[in-house]
């Protein structure tokens, strides 16, 4: 039996404001599942053309799948959001690339014909569930030298990357971090950051009820001089600091995917079109280099080259990790195509949710840039992986 694949489109994406993890963060007393429920409800509210019963799947990622992030959160969040009981759901985990994998998994189902419409996203409440909570790594990893012990500490893997590529200096990392903060601040002031946000009611036993409307992590006014004196917690006299890495954060994301013909049938907008994707493994000790082979794989499978990519949304888990990617492909540290609205160093990185943040921003950038045909979202992944998804701009005006 032969069949043809269908085109898959990214219809819309939303996210909660990202918060700082910990007892003083704005989501300290807010449930993780309630964060992702807000995203699902907002997607449905913003797209009234979509009958709720036409949603065929809900895939929600979380890295730490226990407590208020457990219990097959894709299904439970769908029910809590008010979707019909006929809509199934599942949980997925690929650490930082959880939401990205939720997208590629459901998109593959759409292309194959198993689904018409799907919701994909991710959530991470690092205040409730610190990275690594409840895990029990097999002692063979270290005793049999399958990986170095540093592979299980993400900040240490970033220090390893500085060691491997000594030309990626702390000064370059700090300068890149300042650029991320500055670009985020400029995008916020220009109204580019904000339309994708869904407000969240918050609760505090001490302060009462509140409303989260803006991202908590950004540090406007950050300077290279200010970053130079920060402590290097992963190694004495090291390179990685709280200033040139993403913080510990809480937040959720969600997006709506559909077959292009179904989007046309229902009158849904098309934000961008899926071209291809790739995931790759690397040495866990230098997991930050993962987006290089995953991008090479995605480019090869789509017949594109890095020169075809007009916009890059790269997750900034650590500045050095992005610099390694840029250096490999011969892209300048301050290339305007890269994270034009800032990145995770400024806005935060609630682990499994971040992939859809990248996609949502790229989709909105495409709407402003009909001169750009292809864009790329990529991220490094813990335990030594990288993920890359390539998208096409439906607003592209063709070769001038």
Contact 55, 83 (CB under 8 A): yes
The structural domains of the chain, with segments of one domain joined by +, span 148-193+275-391
Beta strands in 19-160 (DSSP E): 19-20, 57-61, 89-92, 117-125
What local confidence, expressed as pLDDT, does residue 264 receive?
98
The secondary structure of 182-219 as a DSSP string is: HHHHHHHHTT-SSTTB--EEEEETTTEEEEE-S-S---
Q: How many residues does the chain have?
A: 400
Tokens at 228, concatenated? 């130079």
For residue 120, give both structure tokens: 């994909």
Please tell me the distance from the alpha carbon of residue 371 to that of residue 368, in angstroms, as a whole number.
9
39 is an active site residue: no
CA distance 315 to 317: 6
| Cα 126 to Cα 130: distance, rounded to the nearest angstrom | 5
Candidate list 128, 129, 239, 380, residue with the active-site label? 380
> Among residues 125, 128, 129, 349, which one is catalytic?
349
Check residue 400 and give its pLDDT: 59
CA angle 282, 284, 285 (to 5 degrees): 115
Q: pLDDT means per 10 residues in the chain (400 residues)?
A: 90 98 96 98 98 98 96 98 98 98 98 98 97 92 92 95 97 98 98 98 92 97 97 96 98 98 98 98 97 98 98 98 98 98 98 98 98 98 97 89
102 sits in which H/E element: helix 98-112
**Predicted pLDDT of residue 399:** 73
pTM of the entire predicted model? 0.97
Using the 8-state DSSP alphabet, how is residue 97 labeled? T
Q: Which residue stretches of 208-269 are H helix? A: 224-228, 260-266
Query: Who's near 136: CB < 8 A, 6+ residues apart?
Result: none
Both tokens of residue 191? 């109204």
Whether residue 95 contacts residue 122, with contact meaning beta carbons closer than 8 Å, is answered with no
Cβ proximity of 375 and 393 under 8 Å: yes
Active-site annotation holder among 39, 96, 162, 239: 96
CATH number belonging to the domain at 148-193+275-391, selected among 3.30.70.1450, 3.40.50.300, 3.40.47.10, 3.40.50.11540 = 3.40.47.10
Helix, strand or coil, per DSSP, at residue 386: strand
Cα angle vertex 393, ends 388, 398, to 5°?
A: 130
Distance in angstroms (rounded) separating the CA atoms of residues 288 and 298: 17
Q: Evaluate whether 282 touches 386 at the Cβ level (below 8 Å).
A: yes
Residue 10 neighbours by CB distance under 10 Å: 28
CA distance 378 to 256: 19
């Amino acid at each position: 039996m032969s069949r043809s694949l269908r085109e898959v489109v990214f219809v819309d994406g939303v996210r909660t404001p990202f918060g700082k993890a910990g007892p003083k963060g704005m989501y300290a007393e807010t449930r993780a599942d309630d964060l992702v429920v807000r995203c699902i409800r907002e997607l449905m509210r913003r797209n009234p053309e979509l009958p709720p019963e036409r949603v065929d799947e809900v895939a929600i990622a979380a890295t730490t799948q226990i407590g208020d992030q457990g219990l097959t959160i894709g299904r439970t969040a769908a029910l809590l959001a008010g979707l019909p009981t006929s809509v199934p759901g599942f949980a997925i985990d690929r650490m930082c690339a959880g939401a990205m994998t939720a997208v590629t998994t459901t998109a593959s189902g759409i292309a194959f014909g198993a689904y018409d419409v799907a919701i994909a996203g991710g959530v991470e409440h690092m205040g409730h569930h610190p990275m690594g909570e409840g895990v029990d790594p097999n002692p063979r990893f270290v005793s049999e030298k399958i990986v170095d012990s540093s592979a299980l500490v993400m900040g240490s893997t970033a220090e390893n990357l500085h060691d491997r590529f000594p030309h990626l200096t702390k000064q370059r990392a700090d300068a890149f971090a300042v650029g991320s903060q500055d670009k985020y601040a400029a995008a916020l002031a220009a109204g580019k950051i904000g339309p994708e946000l869904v407000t969240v009611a918050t609760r505090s036993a001490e302060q009462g009820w509140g409303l989260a409307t803006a991202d908590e992590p950004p540090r406007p006014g950050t300077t290279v001089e200010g970053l130079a004196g920060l402590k290097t917690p992963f190694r004495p006299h090291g390179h990685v600091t709280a200033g040139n890495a993403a913080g510990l954060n809480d937040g959720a994301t969600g997006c709506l995917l559909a077959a292009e013909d179904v989007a046309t049938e229902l009158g849904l907008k098309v934000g961008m079109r899926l071209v291809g994707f790739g995931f790759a493994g690397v040495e866990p000790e230098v997991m930050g280099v993962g987006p290089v082979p995953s991008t090479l794989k995605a480019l090869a499978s789509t017949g594109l080259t890095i020169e075809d990519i007009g916009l890059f949304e790269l997750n900034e888990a650590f500045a050095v990790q992005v610099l390694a990617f840029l250096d490999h492909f011969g892209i300048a540290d301050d290339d305007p195509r890269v994270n034009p609205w800032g990145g995770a160093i400024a806005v935060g990185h609630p682990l499994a949710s971040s992939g859809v943040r990248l996609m949502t921003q790229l989709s909105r950038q495409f709407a402003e840039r009909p001169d750009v045909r292809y864009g790329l979202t990529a991220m490094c992944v813990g335990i030594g992986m990288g993920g890359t998804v390539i998208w096409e701009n439906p607003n592209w005006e063709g070769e001038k």
